[in-house]
């Protein structure tokens, strides 16, 4: 080996650790085409996982399910409320109430109140109320609806009266037009009357829909690069490991694509009328989780749990008016999660030295737990966890100001009418639908093209790994969801 002096560029590394004249490195050559030092550096083969587990997906697997679909659109129906009530009711005169009817689609409002029914008239601004009997319907379904009523406890709507001898009943004309609420609580008829004046109420439902989007990703490496020997021992988030190079890059592309499958249906937006995406390019978008809650759910702005139970109890009161799902899950960013911990810890101040009981009952000789993973308030159970997607610096985390602080998602299932099955079925509130048929399953497709890596589909001197999925998110019963936002 003493006479081996290969020219620069003729060094060919061996695939095994074997001393050959073709892989000899000359450290004493002074031509400037060699290594700049005599001794090789110490190299750590294993990568340092400085960002921990970098994947973000898993949220939907915790709270939902995946189901195939065969169409370009998924349509589902949700029940409307059972009882009859109207808001924004106005006072026309001492005996008549009026409210707006008409409209189209989901905004259609008809008057279904009948003569002989009894109503509660409430002023939301003052909390005062009045019980009345409907005597005539001047206009039943046209705009506006006019109904004539007579109070049980006073002469008319403009006269102050009493009920039970003590409570003063308000003259409703003094609270201003347009801010009253009325609802039917029963009826009363004289002996021997017919029921010809009673309106037949046909139950109605509200339809919602969403469409899947096609998501793509690709990884490419040239044939020349696949022949390079540059092994690094790696450990990936999906549990694989070993000595890889270009396959590691492909594996990371796959992991990133799997995150996109979840992120796209969380952040998705439908194309609005003012967007230039509507200019005949066939793109329509999809309604993601955040968008669905903003449109059909509940949005709490600038919530600070550390301020105490006042703001939190207002959320519970709103949940009471909706589905009142007993078990709910919080998925929060770090700041909001700590706010909840502070709020709960403050409730048990004075116990064990002013801290909340936690792990090992917070014994002085044992570990102290200042975090809370679950609690019960009123008739509701809440389970709290950090949502990595909101904390990761490459997505919504690491910002001084962020628009999304977390979400509250009801646990369990909802009952909906399935258009294809023609019956009511129970499904998770949150689930993903993906395109699939007997010929093609588009949940997550992967294929290889090119002329490298075992594929011989083209004359391209490279290996291309393709990823594709077509899916959308179904958010059923969005009125039970809560989105925590911050004003920017």
| Dist CA 157 CA 96 (whole Å) | 8
Residue 405 vs residues 334, 451, 486: alpha-carbon distances, Å:
9, 48, 7
| Dist CA 391 CA 398 (whole Å) | 7
Last residue of a domain, one of 150, 171, 191: 191
Query: Do 52 and 139 share a domain, yes or no?
Result: no
In a domain, 196, yes or no: no
Query: Do 50 and 36 share a domain, yes or no?
Result: no
The one-digit pLDDT tens for each residue of the chain (488 residues) are 445 454 544 555 555 656 665 655 554 555 544 444 444 455 555 666 666 677 777 788 777 678 888 888 888 887 777 788 888 888 888 888 888 777 666 667 778 888 888 998 888 777 778 889 999 887 655 678 888 899 888 888 877 655 544 444 566 655 555 688 888 999 888 888 777 777 777 777 778 889 999 999 998 888 877 765 455 565 666 666 665 544 667 778 888 899 999 999 999 999 887 788 876 677 889 999 999 999 999 998 887 766 667 778 888 888 888 877 888 888 998 888 888 888 777 765 544 444 444 544 545 444 445 556 778 887 888 888 888 888 888 888 877 777 888 999 888 665 555 555 455 555 678 889 999 988 889 998 988 899 887 778 898 998 888 999 999 999 988 888 999 988 64
pLDDT of residue 10: 53
Distance in angstroms between the alpha carbons of the first and the last residue of the chain = 70
Contact 159, 152 (CB under 8 A): no
CATH of the domain at 171: 2.40.30
Q: At what angle do helices 246-267 and 289-296 cross, to 10 degrees?
A: 10
Query: Do 432 and 331 share a domain, yes or no?
Result: yes
Query: Do 286 and 429 share a domain, yes or no?
Result: yes
Helix H or strand E segment including 470: strand 462-475
H helix runs in 183-333, sequence order: 223-226, 246-267, 289-296, 309-320
pLDDT of residue 287: 93
Query: Do 52 and 24 share a domain, yes or no?
Result: no
Last residue of a domain, one of 142, 166, 191: 191
In a domain, 422, yes or no: yes
Query: Do 360 and 486 share a domain, yes or no?
Result: yes
Query: Do 238 and 379 share a domain, yes or no?
Result: yes
pLDDT of residue 264: 92
Helix H or strand E segment including 18: none
3 state DSSP class of 397: coil
In a domain, 64, yes or no: yes
**Nearest residue to 216 (alpha-carbon basis) of 278, 260, 266:** 260
Range of the structural domain that residue 113 is part of: 82-191
* Burial class, 213, CB count within 10 angstroms (exposed 0-12 / middle 13-18 / buried 19+): middle
| Dist CA 442 CA 90 (whole Å) | 54
DSSP 325: -
Query: Do 122 and 156 share a domain, yes or no?
Result: yes
pLDDT of residue 25: 57
Strands, E assignment, 274-422: 298-301, 327-332, 374-377, 380-386, 404-410, 413-418
In a domain, 197, yes or no: no
14: tokens are 């061996």
| Dist CA 353 CA 404 (whole Å) | 35
381: tokens are 């159970």
pLDDT of residue 44: 59
Q: Collect all residues with Cβ–Cβ distance below 8 Å to 278 and sequence separation of at least 6.
A: 271
pLDDT of residue 92: 83
Rg of the Cα atoms in the chain: 33
* pTM, two decimal places: 0.72
Query: Do 249 and 267 share a domain, yes or no?
Result: yes
Last residue of a domain, one of 128, 163, 191: 191
pLDDT of residue 228: 57
Query: Do 235 and 172 share a domain, yes or no?
Result: no
**Total count of domains within the chain:** 3
Query: Do 327 and 405 share a domain, yes or no?
Result: yes
451: tokens are 């002329």
pLDDT of residue 103: 65
Query: Do 64 and 128 share a domain, yes or no?
Result: no
Cα-based torsion angle of the residue sequence 435, 440, 444, 448 in order, rounded to the nearest 10 degrees: -150
Residue 40 vs residues 25, 27, 229, 273: alpha-carbon distances, Å:
11, 10, 17, 63
In a domain, 185, yes or no: yes
Helix H or strand E segment including 343: helix 334-347
In a domain, 314, yes or no: yes
Would residue 350 be called left, alpha or beta, if left means φ above 0 and alpha means ψ between -120 and 50 degrees?
left
């Amino acid at each position: 080996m003493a006479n081996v002096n290969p020219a620069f560029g003729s060094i060919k590394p061996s695939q095994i650790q074997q001393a050959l004249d073709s892989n000899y490195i000359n450290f004493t050559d002074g031509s400037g085409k060699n290594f700049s030092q005599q001794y090789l550096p110490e190299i750590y083969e294993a990568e340092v996982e400085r960002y921990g587990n970098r994947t973000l997906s898993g949220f939907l697997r915790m709270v939902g399910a995946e189901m195939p679909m065969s169409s370009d659109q998924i349509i589902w129906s949700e029940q409307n409320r059972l009882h009859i009530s109207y808001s924004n009711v106005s006072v026309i005169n001492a005996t008549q109430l009026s409210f707006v009817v008409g409209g189209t689609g989901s905004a259609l409002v008809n008057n279904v109140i009948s003569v002989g029914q009894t109503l509660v008239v409430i002023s939301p601004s003052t909390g005062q109320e009045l019980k009345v009997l409907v005597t005539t319907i001047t206009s039943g379904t046209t705009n506006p609806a006019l109904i004539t009523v007579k109070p049980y406890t006073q002469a008319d709507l403009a006269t102050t009266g009493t009920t039970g001898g003590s409570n003063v009943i308000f003259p409703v004309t003094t609270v201003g037009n347009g801010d009253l609420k009325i609802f039917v609580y029963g009826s009363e008829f004289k002996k021997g009357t017919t029921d010809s004046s009673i309106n037949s109420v046909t139950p109605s439902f509200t339809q919602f829909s969403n469409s899947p989007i096609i998501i793509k990703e690709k990884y490419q490496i040239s044939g020349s690069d696949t022949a390079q020997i540059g092994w690094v021992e790696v450990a990936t988030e999906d549990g694989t490991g070993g000595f890889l190079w270009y396959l590691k890059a492909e594996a990371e592309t796959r992991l990133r694509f799997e995150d996109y499958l979840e992120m796209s249906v969380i952040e998705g937006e439908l194309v609005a009328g003012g967007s230039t995406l509507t200019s005949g390019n066939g793109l329509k978008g999809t309604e993601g989780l955040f968008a669905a809650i903003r449109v059909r759910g509940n949005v709490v702005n600038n919530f600070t749990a550390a301020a105490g139970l006042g703001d939190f109890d207002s959320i519970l009161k709103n949940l009471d008016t909706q589905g009142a799902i007993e078990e709910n899950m919080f998925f929060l960013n770090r700041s909001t999660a700590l706010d909840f911990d502070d709020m709960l810890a403050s409730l048990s101040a004075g116990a064990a030295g002013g801290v909340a009981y936690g792990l090992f009952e917070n014994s002085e000789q044992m570990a102290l737990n200042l975090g809370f993973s679950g609690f019960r308030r009123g008739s509701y159970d809440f389970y709290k966890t950090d949502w990595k997607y909101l904390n990761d610096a490459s997505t919504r985390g690491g910002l001084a100001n962020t628009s999304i602080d977390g979400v509250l998602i009801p646990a369990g299932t909802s009952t909906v009418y399935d258009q294809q099955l023609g019956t009511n079925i129970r499904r998770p509130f949150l689930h993903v639908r993906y395109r699939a048929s007997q010929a093609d399953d588009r949940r997550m497709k992967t294929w290889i093209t090119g002329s490298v890596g075992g594929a011989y589909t083209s004359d391209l001197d490279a290996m291309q790994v393709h990823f594709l999925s077509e899916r959308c998110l179904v958010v059923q019963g969005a009125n039970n969801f809560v989105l925590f936002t911050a004003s920017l």
